[in-house]
Structure 1
Amino acid sequence: MPNSKMKLKLWTYRADILLQILAVLIQLANCDFSVKNIEKTISEDFLLCRGCGNNLSNTNLIINNLISEEAKYAQNETLFGIKEVLVQEFENPLGLKFKVILVKDSECHSNSGWSNYSTWFKGYSYKSCFCPRCGSIVGWMFQNDDSIEKDKSSKDVFYALIVTSIVDEHFVDSLLIRERIFRE
């Protein structure tokens, strides 16, 4: 038969476990379980600004089924360790060419107004998108024209990120590991 000290330790241990479970439940109750946040948390890999390494998006947010009629080039390529990432090349009115990938969401920021002049996606307006840390242009944000006219935010938003302005996290990690090996 256990003595009173052992019983007290057992009850203290059980109470500690219950408090830990309660703390986890409280944290879960305060979480936003929207689809957008779930997509972000189960990311396969981060897409980073090539200039400063700031997180811009996730590889699981890549859109591979939206091909523009304005694309000079559209082909699936192996990027970021993923086979068949849709890469499209566009040319702006100045003759500058950009290879881009499309993503559902990005951390890039814009302070410019919407424009539909020479848009690459019919029915969408765009604005330039910049890295929030270093200010480098990393792509464009596109939103459905109907949503803009009604002054509403739309779920019909996507981002075109310039391939040469981004790098994936695994690539950066491989460079750091390689550097560490050479130092040793």
Structure 2
Amino acid sequence: MFKYFIFLILNTSFSLSTFAKQFISQIYFLELLLCRKCGADVADSYYLFNKPSPGARKTDKQNMFGKQNVTIQTLVNPFGVKFEIVTIEKARCDNIGPPQGADSWFPGYAWRICACPHCGQQLGWTFESGKNENNSINSFHGLILNNVLGENFTDSLIMMPKVYKM
């Protein structure tokens, strides 16, 4: 029903401004990010944003999670382990441990492990601004791409039995 309603709004010329139609269209195509291990909703792609790390080994832009030009950064920890992450303003995760200022990929931010609140799988890290720092964003999350899935991708994995495809 909701999809039909959105279709009508986007294809009707009554008094909706072009801006309103673009806004509704943009929100309609966004998707939830899910924990790869248990499938719990952990974030909304609406909150993805570009927060560059000066320590990124590689930066790339891709269309994913219903958004265009999502920044993907390849980061390497002190043990040589590589992670591809996306940065997001809001995520549902349990922060584990006290904030750690050492070895942060984002200067001026301390990090804590961000875990799925449902199953405990590490999703990435929460980065929190220090008290004496003048950062424009107080906190954000770096989600590991290998540990999250887009809901549209998971929907594509579900096959309808042939008996229903008449």
TM-score tier after normalising by the smaller chain length: 0.7 to 0.9
| In structure 1, C-alpha distance between the alignment counterparts of 2:73 and 2:162, rounded to whole Å | 37
Is the CA contact (8 Å cut-off) linking 2:31 and 2:66 kept in structure 1?
Answer: no
How far 1:183 moved relative to its partner?
A: 6.9
* 1-structure distance, mates of 2:56, 2:162: 42
- Equivalent of residue 89 in structure 1, options 50, 56, 74: 74
Instruction: Tell me the TM-score normalized by structure 2.
Output: 0.75
Shift of the 180–67 alpha-carbon distance from structure 1 to 2, 3 Å rule, reads: same
Larger Rg: 1
Pair 120,133 (structure 1): closer, same or farther in 2 beyond 3 Å: same
In the other structure, the counterpart of 1:113 is 98
Between Structure 1 and Structure 2, which shows a larger proportion of helix residues? Answer: 1
CA deviations over 1:80-101 (Å, ceiling 9, x no partner): 2433110001000111000000
- Report the AA paired with residue 33 of structure 2: L
Partner of 1:63: 49
Q: Which residue of 2 aligns with 1:141?
A: 126
The answer as to 2:165 corresponding to 1:180 is no
Instruction: Name the counterpart of 1:47.
Output: 33
Gaps of 5+ in 2: 1-26
Moved over 6 A (4+): none
Letter in 1 for 2:31: D
More strand by share: 2
RMSD: 2.0
Q: In the comparison of the two structures, how many residue pairs are matched?
A: 135
Taking the TM superposition and a 5 Å limit, the aligned residue runs for 1:15-34 are: none
CA distance in 2, matches of 1:98, 1:70: 12
Normalised to the residue count of structure 1, the TM-score between the two structures is: 0.68
- Over 3 Å counting, the alpha-carbon distance change for 1:80 and 1:121 in structure 2 is same
